[in-house]
Amino acid sequence: MMNVYSKRLLQPYVGVVQVAEMGWARALSLDGKNWAIRYAQDESQKTLNEPFSHDPRVNPALIVTIEGDQHKTRVIRSSLEPERVRSDNQRFFKAISTVRVPFEAADRYEYWLLDGNDESPLALLHSCISEEDMKRAVPPPEWLSIPAAQLAVPDPDSEAQVDSQPPVNYRLQQLVENRAGSKPRAVWFERTKTTADDFPPCLIRDEWEDPEWQRICDLYLQRLAPRLLMMDGLPLTVRQRLEQAACDYVFDIEKFYPLYPEVVDNSRLNNARVEARLRRANEA
């Protein structure tokens, strides 16, 4: 029997990973189309205990791409038995074909960096799906932004460009580090429906006293909007704001749209997807 769920891929947050576990194997996807299959016997106990154990980019054995009712397989490790590869492909494809993504979120245990002033949740560092997983290794108490080389955050402020300041990603990272204080601390919480309002909905404090700090945070979250929309449980007003911001990045919407658990304005996002297809056709 296959167990399916989703969890946020963190430190830094890059999206929500879909997980299908087959006992001896785990299939992982960031877009619901391309799946990385990893085998338990290929991974050391240390790897299994690391926070990145759900990262599909780490130690894959197979890559399976599913398009409609067809699938293509690329073997990463030639040591795998061909018969086993075929058998696993068939079982996996059959199971995924009968279950609709996105899968239900399961990572309700959250490891938060605390605000150095009032010890409120400042930035999410890690999450897991069971109390037992909380005993495993966790990242150090410092928040990391997505590297600017991986996701550039545009800054329309010409003054910032003239001053050759660091990218927005790293300026926000520094703000969070300063806010955490000289002795940063992180603790575990169990998020429930009744406690959801106690945590920043976009995984990082989004209200800052200084206007420039607020501007930097807003720029980062606006660029991350197409990925943040993959999260379940966002307040309606937050999801509306993120959908509007995401439309500046139509190719990202096109990629991640199948994994949005909820859409407030279908018309807005469908228009963005059409624009993405038209722009791609014009570039061909």
Q: What is the pLDDT of residues 147-189, one digit of tens each?
A: 999 999 999 875 555 567 899 999 999 999 999 999 999 999 9
Classify residue 57: in a domain, yes or no. Answer: yes
Classify residue 51: in a domain, yes or no. Answer: yes
| Tally of structural domains, the chain | 1
Classify residue 75: in a domain, yes or no. Answer: yes
CA max distance for the chain: 61
Greater confidence, 259 or 196?
259
| pTM for this prediction | 0.90
pLDDT at 190 > cutoff 70:
yes
Within 10 angstroms of residue 47's Cβ, the number of other Cβ atoms is: 13
Classify residue 201: in a domain, yes or no. Answer: no
Classify residue 234: in a domain, yes or no. Answer: no
Name the pairing type of β-strands 70-75 and 15-21.
unpaired
In 3D, which of 276, 246, 230 has the Cα closest to residue 101?
230
Classify residue 85: in a domain, yes or no. Answer: yes
* The token pair that represents 33 in the structure block: 């189309």
For residue 66, the enclosing domain spans 3-97
Quote the pLDDT of residue 275: 97
Q: What CA–CA distances, in Å, run from 122 to 32, 68, 118?
A: 30, 41, 10
Sign of the alpha-carbon torsion through 207, 210, 216, 218: positive
Q: What is the pLDDT of residues 211-246, one digit of tens each?
A: 999 999 999 999 999 999 999 999 999 999 999 999
Name the pairing type of β-strands 25-29 and 34-39.
antiparallel
The answer to whether 38 touches 28, Cβ cutoff 8 Å, is yes
Classify residue 80: in a domain, yes or no. Answer: yes
Classify residue 23: in a domain, yes or no. Answer: yes
| 89 class by beta-carbon count within 10 Å (0-12 exposed, 13-18 middle, 19+ buried) | middle
Quote the pLDDT of residue 12: 94
